Amino acid sequence: MWFYVVAFIAVLYMLFDVNYFIRIIFTIGLARYFQRKVKPFDETVIYGICTTNDVDIFIRHMNNARYVRELDFARFDFYDRSNLYNEVVKRKGNAMQGASNVRYRRTIPIFNVYKIVTKLIYWDDKAIYLEQKFITLSDGFVRAVALSKQNLVNVDVEDMIKKLCGQEFSKPKMPEELEKWLQSIEISSSKLRKSD
């Protein structure tokens, strides 16, 4: 019997990234049952440590691809704690990553503890925009900064934000770096539309 259980688990690990799904369940469970709810414009924080599973070929610091994976967990935490995801589901909509931009400033060394601070910085009629920062706890240094465009499909974003934040909340001015990044995305999209 144990042989079949072990074989089944081994097959799961070969076919799926089991640790990713376990971490997602853990992250959402922690956010939902053990952390306080926040407004969409409050910052959320999750913590991590650069382990041997996260390092690059030189085994000294976090692999660039791992940053993007860690951002996923921080977004799941943010969506759950801010009630954004529940609101999207209530409206029969869907949320999906539309674009991301990561600027690496300095590596996260192996076995260093860090936090990811996630903040909603802007929205338009089709998407919300998040800024996420990797900050090492030992020195408070911002190791990487990411901007992400979260497309909200079949959702009136303006109405949803007003419902979650209250009518008195006013839309912030678009940060300059976000404005320039969106311009570069549009230039790229225009080129692709022409080639199609």
Give per-residue pLDDT as tens, 55-69: 999 999 999 999 999
112 or 165, greater pLDDT: 112
Question: What pLDDT score does 123 carry?
Answer: 94
What pLDDT was estimated at residue 140? Answer: 97
pLDDT at 106 over 80: yes
Domain ranges of the chain: 38-179
Does the reported pTM lie above 0.75? yes
The answer to whether 160 and 91 are in contact (CB under 8 A) is: yes
pLDDT for res 113: 98
Predicted local confidence at residue 1, as pLDDT: 86
Cα–Cα dist 187/128, whole Å: 20
Q: What is the pLDDT of residue 121?
A: 96
Nearest to 133 by CA among 83, 74, 65: 74
Number of H helices, E strands in the chain: 6, 5
Lowest-confidence pick of 74-78, 143-147, 161-165, 178-182: 161-165
Tens digit of each residue's pLDDT (9 = 90 or more) over 126-139:
999 999 999 999 99
Kindly state the average pLDDT of the residues 89-107.
95
Q: Please give the Cα distance from 90 to 20 (Å, whole number).
A: 26
**Which fold is adopted by the domain 38-179?**
Thiol Ester Dehydrase; Chain A (3.10.129)
How much is the pLDDT for 193?
84
H or E segment and range at residue 142: strand 142-153
Tokens of residue 194, six digits:
């022409």
Cα distance between residue 12 and residue 18, in whole Å: 7
* pLDDT tens figures, 2-33: 999 999 999 999 999 999 999 999 999 999 99
